[in-house]
Structure 1
Amino acid sequence: MSAQFPAHLDLEEEEDLEVFSKNTSLTDGGPSSPSSMMNQYREEEEEELFITVDHPESHVTAIETFITYRVMTKTSRSDFDCSEFEVRRRYQDFLWLRSTLEENHPTLIVHKFVMKGMVERFNDDFIETRRRALQRFLDKIRDHPLLRGSPSLKVFLTAQDLAPHRKQTPSLLSRWGGTVKMLSQSLRGVRSRPEEFSLMQDYVEQLSSKICSVDKICSSETQSCTQHLSSVLIPVLHDYLLCADTLKAVMKRRDNIQAEYEAKREAMERRGDQEQQEEEVQALQEKVEVCNSSLQEDWSRWRSSMRTDLKTALLSTAENNMQHYEKCLAVWETFLLSQREEGSEQKEEDAP
């Protein structure tokens, strides 16, 4: 039997191997029941909370390099001391918030933001992709009827220094022990799980399998599309980019030949010894004419060849792109159709 560890142990990068612990002062549970929290949310639902993640900055220390993001908060909620807050947070801080929310609300769905398969953690594309993922994460929490009122979220948005809150935690070994206990319990299973949760489990497993298939197919097609660009269109573009540089050099050499001819002719006219230099000037003039003629012919051939090559490459790329998007569209249509059919079946089951 294969075993999977709980998702909240998903510590993906070197910079993310942080000891997370439970801050008892931030516990979101306690005497407040879910119903009372929902009532509180309804009372405050008209109050606004806007969160923006932007302005990444690189920080280099003696032991590490990391990126921080500015987190701007504007709110009209009465439980906040001010209407605007500005803090800087690194990726580990977001992981701390997610981990704390998962620990305090083990049966709520906390949005994940880990990006797998990306290794260049300090280039601009990765930083922007991560920023968008972190923005979506906070948006999901803000829009959640229970998580938006979490004391952990409030501390994350307002505290200038998170270190004191993150240090009030048990050791990683303690977390690991709790995880092993949860794992052993999950392997034993439950004896009388309510049917609705069994159906939920089956649905999630099927959904995960379907989305994984869609991802694999679309990723494969995208890779094929990228390979086509790399092997068909990009080489042609690079080839003619180099040809353009070659043409500039040819034009310069032609101009040099003409300049030499013109200089000789002007010198001959000034000195008046036309008979002595006439042969030399005539030879240079013929050389210019030959250069002009050969360049004109080559220019005509080059333009014709360029148009043919670019047209062929662009048409091939367009056709390949159409096939790529048609295949991806077919996969998504099949997936959405299956979801629609499952929804119809669920409605029929729920009907009296």
Structure 2
Amino acid sequence: MFNASMPTSPGSMVNQCKFEEDEESDSKDIFITVDNPESHVTAIETFITYRVLTKTTRSEFDNSEYEVRRRYQDFLWLKGKLEDAHSTLIVHPLPEKFVVKGMVERFNGDFIETRRKALHKFLNRIADHPILSCSEDFKVFLSAQAWELTTYKKQGPGFLSRMGETVRAVANSVRGVKNRPEEFTAIQEYVEDFSNKIGSLDKVTQRIVKEQKEYLEELKEYGPTYTLWSGSEEELAEQLKGVAGCIERCCKETEEQVGHLSDTLVPVLHEYVLCAETLKAVLRRRDNIQAEFEAKNEALATKKVDRDALKEEIDKLEDRVEWANNALKGDWGRWQRSMRGDLKSAFLSTAEKNVDYYEKVRYKIL
């Protein structure tokens, strides 16, 4: 049924989204800012660190404010730890380590700023999560100084332990799951479909931005030609200068529109391309847990010795499967709400900017 109070214009709908976000922020108890990137050059490598500022009212923190510096590999470590501890929770993706697109320089200012924004969003997604935000690893990441974090990292599971987990995961993946619940099959089909669609949108949008930038560069060369021409055509001078002025104003509006696409739509689309891959990995891990449980049950049916020990192991695996399923179901709904809010805001903002752009360009031409 149509709701008469629903905002009807793109601008009012975007403002409504922002208002809802402000309401949610009232219940937050941890706020994180990633800023101030710095370049570091050593004899071995060159890398960027980012300042991470945290303000919190949580009792488990010793202080209410923290300031630390972190490099990309620290964020990567945190993501890995969260995924290891909570294999079927959806940990927000990090930006890729390298950008091949056009061989972009890794220490280019635009690249660093784009990465900073993505790292900022990554940490705040974790901070908003009811389970991940309570992780001890997350607390250490936000509060420990660099040398303390290095020491803490060394306390993790050893190489052989990690190898054993990897071997089991591969074995379960090869074995496959036999009786996946229908709801997870439906989620998997949705994710595959979503991945294909968001991937296509991402590629097309990036191609549009590239072509628009090329068009803009040509447009910038186009205007001055009319200005030069006006100097040798007295009778057409006024009209030629008018065309040059119109092109100059169109250049300005086009530059703003391309910048908006690059800053607003492209990052969100690509972020959810990465999210789709994260979801596929989570679903694989859920299947691996169930596959291990099924394999142990089959072994129990054929094994004649050590049945009590095996039964105890199966009971633990059954609990693990149940926890994994419940965790994923809860996170799935949370992820969908977040995804739809992000894409809705980006699409509405882009539509509003496009309308504004074409109205201004049309007005300037007329």
SS at match of 2:36: strand
Q: TM-score when scaled to structure 2?
A: 0.54
1:56 partnered with 2:42 = no
CA-CA distance at 1:175 after TM superposition: 4.3
CA-CA distance at 1:60 after TM superposition: 1.0
Deviates more, 1:111-120 or 1:67-76: 111-120
1:107 partnered with 2:88 = yes
CA distance in 2, matches of 1:53, 1:315: 35
CA-CA distance at 1:146 after TM superposition: 0.2
Cα distance change on mapping 1:141 and 1:238 into 2, 3 Å: farther
The equivalent of 1:94 in structure 2 is: 75
Deviates more, 1:111-120 or 1:132-141: 111-120
1:170-228 CA deviation, whole Å, 9 max, x = no partner?
Answer: 56686466435423422331011111111111111111111112112222222222232
1:284-333 CA deviation, whole Å, 9 max, x = no partner?
Answer: xxxxxxxxxxx9866775554343355468669989x89xx9xx9xxx9x
The equivalent of 2:18 in structure 1 is: none
Question: Contact 2:223–2:243 at 8 Å: present in 1 too?
Answer: no
- Structure with the greater alpha carbon radius of gyration: 1
SS at match of 1:51: strand
CA distance in 1, matches of 2:209, 2:154: 44
1:159 partnered with 2:144 = yes
- How many correspondences in the alignment? 230
Larger RCO (CA under 8 A, 6+ residues apart): 2
Partner of residue 127 from structure 1, selected from 112, 122, 133: 112
1:95-140 CA deviation, whole Å, 9 max, x = no partner?
Answer: 1111110111101000012244453221211111111000100110
Cα distance change on mapping 1:309 and 1:109 into 2, 3 Å: same
Partner of residue 230 from structure 1, selected from 206, 209, 217: 217
The equivalent of 1:71 in structure 2 is: 52
Partner of residue 168 from structure 1, selected from 141, 152, 155: 155
Instruction: Structure 2 unaligned segments of length 5 or more: list them.
Output: 1-25, 270-335, 337-366
Cα distance change on mapping 1:155 and 1:312 into 2, 3 Å: closer
CA distance in 2, matches of 1:215, 1:297: 47
Question: Contact 2:224–2:244 at 8 Å: present in 1 too?
Answer: no
CA distance in 1, matches of 2:225, 2:159: 56
Deviates more, 1:88-97 or 1:108-117: 108-117
Partner of residue 217 from structure 1, selected from 180, 183, 204: 204
Cα distance change on mapping 1:185 and 1:237 into 2, 3 Å: farther
Partner of residue 195 from structure 2, selected from 194, 208, 213: 208
CA RMSD of aligned residues (A): 3.7
1:183 partnered with 2:170 = yes
CA-CA distance at 1:236 after TM superposition: 1.9
Question: Contact 2:231–2:237 at 8 Å: present in 1 too?
Answer: no
SS at match of 1:59: strand
SS at match of 1:110: coil
Partner of residue 132 from structure 2, selected from 147, 157, 180: 147
Q: TM-score when scaled to structure 1?
A: 0.56
What amino acid is the match of 1:179?
Answer: T
SS at match of 1:193: coil
Question: Contact 1:56–1:68 at 8 Å: present in 2 too?
Answer: yes
Percent of aligned pairs with the same residue? 48
Deviates more, 1:113-122 or 1:144-153: 113-122
